[in-house]
Structures are given as structure tokens and as C-alpha cells.
Structure 1
């Protein structure tokens, strides 16, 4: 949607397709760092995000038992721009959908592509409903398990497991919580992100163990409650107050910076399809939104589509590489039970680089 918005605002005719027939997104919250808020401001969506989400200029670090360690230095990177915040994913999705509709971008749902063929100055597309079309450019931003990547980029491969899994729970806000919180020093670090005046989501990272069956709702609830047994502070409050009605999710983590080139003829990848990361820097969505904006900017500035695609890749590769390598590095510190001070140092350094212009 960020790519479609950025292109349409520059007068490009865009067709947007989405595999989900109801155009949904699953129900966890999302942390929105300052750099991500900056990207959303470029899309004109900062104010509705501030109104519907929770904005703060502070993130607090705690030891897992609730002892306060330090407050993260999160400087304001642009005048009038909050340092960080959070919002529920379905709410953010609706904000972006509203902008797509305002721009009168055609949207086709329950649809993907089944074949792509580069032609002179364009791409022949066969859709999964057997209809066809021809486009000057095809942008694949279709998840970490990208079908566009499988069709058109044989030199790329599937995402690589990192050895960790991520738990998420959406729940009412603990009394007195007024900022994001990280809990470190435990084998299973966790964090809390305010997402509205009365709701938060909490994440926890654990070592992933392969199993044959997905966990059902009861096992998710019982297991997460047990994983939180050592925690104090607001993480302990969530353990003691969580109910079976709260939304709980667990997923193994995978990441990969795909090898260059990120475009093949007039087909290009962005987002998780080509620079999938883990949640350690809360920057997966932010990197995708930035990439959509940069792609539109470079296409508008270039003399040819191919030159614009090369400029896009050149501008995005190192920034995405830093985010992915730093995120995996933080995960490795956690898997190797390194002290929380090492986590904080790597986290602060990476966040500082993220604050630089994109």
C-alpha cells in the first residue's frame, strides 16, 4: 500500500492486488519507531496514526525482574515528529486502506499472480483467476514467502530460520504504563508497546523448537503464562491478568537479505520479499514503507525505468543490510545468554543509524 500510495501521488496509474479476499491483517500491535513515523509522515499519514495509536518519546529498559536499568536515548529526528509509538496492526491497515481509496487506486482482492513474462518495455501478467494484463512495471511486495520472488528471481532463496520464535499478546494496558518497555537479562527477553490509550501488545522472544503441530489456543495461553513466571513489573502484571480472551500468537522467526539484483527486467521486489528482518529493531514494516517511498522517488527522477530501479536498489541495499544484520545480531546475543548491557549497546547503535535520513 505504501508503494501504491507513493506512485499514485506522482500520477502513476496503479493496480493493487492482495491475496486476502477480505483485505485483513492479523491482530497484533506494531511498534512504530521514529524512522517509521518519519516515513509515514512522508505518506501524509502521521496525524491519523497519532490519533488512533499511542505516541511516546521514551522507552524504558528493565531487568526481567522489574528493576529499572536505564531509559533509551530516543532523540527527536525531525521537528514535530514523535520519537516512537505503537498502534494495532488492523487499525494501521485501515488508515492506509482509506488513503488508497482516496487516491482511487483500483484494488482486486483474493488474487495473486501465477505467471510473469518480461517483454519489451513491460511485463505480461497472468493472474490466479486466469485473467491477464500488461504493465510497465510489476512490484512484488508479497511477504517473506513471496510468490513473485519464486516466479522471477531464481538466484534468490527462501528465508532462513534464526533459531528464535516470537510470542505476541494483545491485552489491556497495565495501570500506570506510559512508555514502551523492554525486559532484559532473561533467556526469554520481552517488551511492551502501548498501542492506544487503553491497549498494549507484549512480545517475547524464545528459542524456537521445531514441532509437528501448531499450538492451540489453550496451549498458547498456558505456555506463555509459564514463560512469564520469572518476570516482574508490567510484564508480571500481564502474566497475572491475561485471560483466554486475549489474542495470543506464536511464530518462528526467519530473515534474509536477498542477493542482488532486486529487479529482473521490469519486475522488482521490496519489503519482506527481499529484505525480511526480525522484530528486534521494530523496523520490518518501516523498511517496507521506506522502500515504497524510495522506489517512487527514484522512478520519478530517472530517465528510464531501469535506471530508476537500479537507483532504488543502490539506495536501499546497505540500509536494509544494516537492519537485518543488527537484528540477527541482537537475537544471537539473546540465544547465547549475553548480558543485557550488550543488548542495549547494540540496540542503541542500530537505532541511531536508523535515525539517519533514508
Structure 2
């Protein structure tokens, strides 16, 4: 796709060096913007297990020129299989190829995906400052005066807040927004060796605690499980995480049962409560704008949180490229993203409610297929 330079923004600050922030930084730098990227973590690390990459997400990464690296370092497939929790096959999800040469679906370890994006940021010579955030941001009409948490200052034509569901930029500049809303579920994740014979992504339904498995490389997978969230006064220890997940998998057959029987205390296990929110418009205040989990946080039910963040970073750059002014570009970005993000969030939360109510797995499959079909449409 032929690109032109963004004429209304000469210099931009991206706050948050995660998936959405890096996508925006790459897309804007490729269009001639001088981008500064900051991240609160002094090591610019990412924690986590694998990540499922649906066809729409792969399409977005292709727009960033990163598809080949993801294919080389991840695991690509063309099908997701649905099972009852006991291992009985229900059906295969219809996951058509949405663009010529584009895989239908796949997975990759999240740290590997971050390294791929970080390498592209470095190739574009985007300055990255770490262990840093923003303590003040003041719109001046034709720019934003920024004070950083180390006391230094800067002036930018645009500031992009992509600093997570706990966004500090949202707190600074968007008083009409609030925190994400707990959904009542929690998500378990484990990284483990690939079960023998696993060829496709798998979902296990019909149990109070649905789970799924995604291949992330030729020899590794991650499994997620969703449970009703129970508040605790302290975080679980590693031994408690292992024992609890092992117990939650007691009823499962198929490859989920294999993981239960072969998991060890050396495997990486994580648990976190789920929350989601579609923040009300406007998503921009003067020349400060939000994207990713800062403004459209979703749950993992459609495996689309990362994809939505990447799409938003690309769309922001595309609309600024097309527009005659920053305000027009930000308005177009907001309108182009709002309904698509709403659909993802509402569909994901609906699936979660169905799971908490122990609903029919066929209804679960119907919601998934409908939402994924809509996601296949151009963004």
C-alpha cells in the first residue's frame, strides 16, 4: 500500500511501548513523523504466555510488514476445533482465509511478538526512553506541552496514550472516562510443551470453566482457562497457582487433559481477573488521543485484544495521513474504530456471561462465529 507523509504532525509522543503503542509508532514513523516512544518499564519487557493471532490480526501485522517474521517465529494453522470439555468433538470453526497469502490463524509467544515489533521500532530509528511516563500534558491549541516523570519536558504536535488498561494518560486528560469494569471471570494461562498430535487451535466448552489451547511454536503451546473470579487478599504463590489450575482441569479430556497430566511446577502459570470497557467518546482531547486497552479494553474470548490495538495504531496513522488537520484526523480515527471495538467488546463480554451461566456450548460457538465473521471485514 502506497503511503504519503502525514503533513499535520511533525513530531509525536507515544506513551506506552506495548503492542498498540509500537504499532502506532511504526505506522506514523513510516509516514514521516518524528516519533518519541516512552515506556514505564526500564527493561521494556513483556510478561505472559502465548497469544492467539486470528486472521484479522495477521492482516493488521501484514500492513506493518511483520507477517513474515511472525510466521517464521510463531505457529500458523488454518483451523480452530471446538470440543466438549470431555474431549468429544463438536465442530470446527469456519475460519476462511480473508486475504490471498494470509494464514487463517495462529499463535506466538508474547515476548517473541514484542521482540519482532521492537526490532522494527529500532530499524526505523525511533528514539525509545525507558523507565519514564508523563506527569503533565497541556494542550496549547497547536500542540501539547509535556512534563515527564523525570522532570524533563517536551513539546509535541500529538500525544498518543497507549499505556494499558490502567492508563495514566487517560487519568490526566480524560475526566469523562473511568476504569475498566470487572466481568466476574478470571483467566488462567500456562505455557507448556506441545501435546503430541495437536495440529490446530482447540476450545473446550460446556464446562463451568472453558479453556483453549494455542500452538505458539513447533514445540510449545499455551493454554488458557476461564473461571469465576474469587477475590483474595493476597496473590497466589507459584505452588498455589499450580495446584489450583491442576484441580480446575480435573474433568477435562483431550489435549486439555494431557496438559493436566503433564504440567509441572516449572511451567509458567499466571492468573488475572478480567475487566473490559468501551470508553465513551470523545477519544481525543485537543491533541491528546488514546488507543488500545486505554480506551477499548476487552477480554480474551475472541482473541482480539492485541489485534484491536494494532488496528487502532494503523488507523490512527492512516486517518492523520488523509486529513487536512489533526482534529479531522483524530475525529475520523475515532469514528472508524468505535463500532468495531464496541462489537468486539460486547461479543466477548456476552460469551463470558454465557459461560458464567453455564450456557449451551452451541450458543457459545454461534456467538464466536458471528463475531469472528464480522471481524473478517475490512477495518
Q: TM-score of the superposition, structure 2-length normalised?
A: 0.94
Which of 267, 271, 279 in structure 2 is aligned with 1:250? 271
Of 77, 83, 92, the match for 2:98: 77
2:315 counterpart of 1:315:
no
Partner of 2:349 in structure 1?
328
Alignment correspondent of 2:141: 120
3-state SS of paired residue (2:44): coil
Please state how far the C-alpha of 1:211 moved relative to its aligned partner. 1.2
1:298 to 309, 319, 343: 319
Pairing 1:146–2:167 present? yes
Aligned match of 2:363 in 330, 342, 351?
Answer: 342
What's the CA shift for 1:27?
2.8
Distance of 1:147 and 1:27 partners within structure 2: 22
SS in structure 2 of the partner of residue 15 of structure 1:
strand
For residues 77-132 of structure 1, what are the alpha-carbon distances to aligned partners after superposition, in whole Å with 9 as ceiling and x for unaligned? 00000000000000000000000000000000111101110002000000011100
Residue 78 of structure 2: which of 57, 81, 96 is its match?
A: 57
Does residue 283 of structure 2 align to residue 265 of structure 1?
A: no
How far apart, CA to CA, are the structure 1 residues paired with 2:228 and 2:274?
A: 10
The CA RMSD over aligned residues, in Å, is: 0.4
The reply to whether residue 95 of structure 1 matches residue 116 of structure 2 is yes
| Moved beyond 4 Å, runs of 4+ | none
Unaligned runs of 5+ in 1: none
Residue 32 of structure 1 aligns with which residue? 53
User: 1:172 Cα shift?
Assistant: 0.5
Task: Give the match for residue 199 of structure 2.
Answer: 178
CA distance in 2, matches of 1:63, 1:169: 20
1:294 partner SS: helix
CA distance in 1, matches of 2:76, 2:364: 24
- The count of aligned residue pairs is 358
Unmatched tracts of structure 2, length 5 or more: 1-21
User: What is the alpha-carbon distance in structure 1 between the residues aligned to residue 232 and residue 352 of structure 2?
Assistant: 21
The answer for the alignment partner of 2:36 in structure 1 is: 15
